[in-house]
Every structure is written in structure tokens, then in C-alpha cells.
Amino acid sequence: SPSLEHRTDVPQDGEEGPAWALIHLVEREGQALVEHLDELRTRLIISLLAFVAASVYGWTLVPEAIGFLKESAGRLIFVAPTEAFFTRIKMAATIGLVISSPVIAYQAWRFVLPALFPHEKRVLRGFLLAGAFLFVAGLAFGFFVAYPVSLRFFLSFGTEGMRPAIVVSRHL
């Protein structure tokens, strides 16, 4: 029988802590964990690529979004040399996140799917569809109803001596 000194599943002196626990887990569980992490990496890379591609496309939509802000808020100003540039980047990233969110949600779904029982898959599918609908409805409500009403309300407090000038980075 092998001695405890040569066994890999029993911690030796100096082999304590989370890193060693992970090493021993990998040794015990074999390739299952590695395959799981590889699948996670693949899903994250696909999600990141979708986000980057959608953000690049979002960059082309930024002028329209700024036009909408100017239409509803009036004059927009920036007070730092880099503020207009970084505001455009933030807007492109936000647009990219909204556009790529279905791909990201799908990748998360495909990653979790193998671990679910059939009845859990059916229930979660219903929640995902309802959640996606409510997400889009919330975006539309905020963009077309809540934003214009609240903006008009707050801008109505301006006076002749105190005219509103909206700093674009703080308005996002």
C-alpha cells in the first residue's frame, strides 16, 4: 500500500489554502473541470466579441443619440477637453451592451443549460422570455415616457438668471 507521502489526494505539509484545494480538486475530478472552464472561456469570448462588435456599430449611432439628447435637453456642453470623446465612448458602449445583450443572455443560457433538469429548463425558458420582454418594455418606457417628462420637469426650474446648460457626461 502506498504511503501518505506519495498520495496526491491528501494534502502534504505546506499544501494548504485555496490554491492547493483547487489543485487537489483538479487531480481528483480529472478533465471535467477543465472542460467546464474551457466552455466558460468560449462563452465569455463570444459574449465579449459580440459586445465589442455591437459597440463599434454603436459608435455610428452616437451622433443620432446626441441629436436626440440635444432635441430634448437643448444645448449640451462639455467642460473638460476629453469629456466629449469619452462621452461618445460611454454612449457607444451602452448602445453596444443593449444591442449585444441577447447574444450575452444566449451564451449564459447555453452555458447553464447542461446542468438543468428538463422541468427547470421549461420554467427558466418562460422566465427568460418574460424577462426579455419586460426589459425591452422598460427601456422603451424609460426612453419615450419617463426621460422626456422628468427632463422637462427639471429644466422648468431654470430662470433668466439661472439658465440650464446640461453637461453631457453628467446627463448620461
Q: What are the tens digits of pLDDT across the range 127-138?
A: 888 988 998 999
Give me the residue label for grid cell 419617463.
146
pLDDT tens readout for residues 13-60: 566 777 777 777 667 766 677 788 899 999 999 999 999 999 999 999
Backbone φ/ψ region at 74: left (φ over 0), alpha (ψ -120 to 50), beta:
left
3-state secondary structure of 147: helix
pLDDT (0 to 100) of residue 70: 85
Does the pLDDT at position 64 exceed 90? Answer: yes
State the pLDDT confidence band at 4, using cuts at 50, 70 and 90: very low
Residues 125-164: tens digit of each pLDDT: 888 889 889 989 998 999 889 988 998 898 888 888 888 8
- Cβ-count burial of 124 within 10 angstroms (0-12 exposed, 13-18 middle, 19+ buried)? middle
Beta bridge partners of 80: none
Q: Percentage of the chain surpassing pLDDT 70?
A: 88
The mean of the pLDDT values for the chain is 85
